[in-house]
Amino acid sequence: MSMSDVAMKFFEACETGKGWEGCKAYCHPNATFTAQAEPLVEMKTLDTYCDWMKGLLGFMPDGRYELKAWGVDEQRKNVSAYGVFLATHTGQGGPCPPTGRKTKTDYVYVMQFEANKIKHMQKIWHAGLAMKELGWI
């Protein structure tokens, strides 16, 4: 499988809430994660992030993504995905009781590869705007 194919399988599994169990086949077991977004800043491992996404979709069950752009940088061993996440906070859980409010928020994943598996992922996302749309702040 190509680097792009592996990244796409990971992206689809992560964005549809499969958690680490559904994502780990595409990643190094100790894959790292970073983000400069308030809810994610303390996360350091990709398994933690994948399970966070699974939990998020538990209280935002209509959550889905629209993939807007896909880029492969063979020289630097990176794949980048630009997407838009759309969801409504209707389920129990999360930072507060259900607000019934919606978000449409842009984000980018940069997945760094080693030996045809993801070894690190950076998420670029303005969490504050999404949290405000959802009525969380």
On the CB side of 44, how many CA atoms lie within 13 Å of its CA? 2
Domain span at residue 40? Answer: 3-133
Amino acid 6: pLDDT: 98
Q: What's this model's pTM, rounded to 2 decimal places?
A: 0.96
63 contacts 86 by C-beta, under 8 angstroms: yes
Local confidence band at 105 (pLDDT 50, 70, 90 cut-offs): very high
What is the CATH classification number for the domain harbouring 103?
A: 3.10.450.50
Label residue 114 by pLDDT band (50, 70, 90).
very high
State how far the Cα of 110 lies from the Cα of 129, in Å rounded to an integer.
21
Domain count, the chain: 1
Sheet of strand 102-114: strand arrangement: 27-35, 117-125, 102-114, 78-88, 64-73
pLDDT classification of 38: cutoffs 50, 70, 90: very high
DSSP H helical segments within the chain, as ranges?
Answer: 3-15, 19-23, 46-59, 127-133
At 94 the pLDDT is 87
Percentage above 70 pLDDT, the chain: 100
